[in-house]
Amino acid sequence: MMRTEVVITIVAMAVATFFTRFTSPAILGGAGISPRLKRFLKHVPTAILTALIAPTLFAPHGYIEFSTGNSYLIAGTIAALLAYFRQPPLVTMGGGMATMLAIRSFGI
């Protein structure tokens, strides 16, 4: 059921991934972090969430598409509006995915 070389590759991926997750908290103590660095780190969550989605929404096919023909941008706008008006995450995600399905199914 499992091939040795595939399992070894998966273990290597797991080690590489765990290294990226464990390293910072393992070597950085809270006391050793300067106020200036803390001020920078505070913004990492917002920055990383944005960086993970912005290209998918604005350039889903590898080039910038700022038009009504970009279904990702339309569904993303709907989801963002729902979240902005303080809808729960389920409504935000459901609304976004339903919009995407509607565009794909009916070509709205």
Residues numbered 49-108 forming contacts with another protein, rule: CB under 8 A: 49-59, 62-64, 72, 75-76, 79-80, 83-84, 86, 88-90, 92-94, 96-97, 100-101, 103-104
Residue linked to tokens 């920055």: 47
Interacting residues with another protein between 33 and 52 (CB under 8 A): 33, 36, 38-52
What's the chain look like in SS3?
A: CCCHHHHHHHHHHHHHHHHHHHHHHHHCCHHHCCHHHHHHHCCHHHHHHHHHHHHHHHCCCCCCCCCCCCHHHHHHHHHHHHHHCCCCHHHHHHHHHHHHHHHHHHCC
Shortest separation between residue 68's beta carbon and another protein, angstroms: 17
Binding-site member from 20, 67, 69, 107 for another protein (CB under 8 A): 20
Contact status: 29 vs another protein (CB under 8 A): yes
Shortest separation between residue 69's beta carbon and another protein, angstroms: 16
Q: How many residues bind another protein (CB under 8 A)?
A: 76
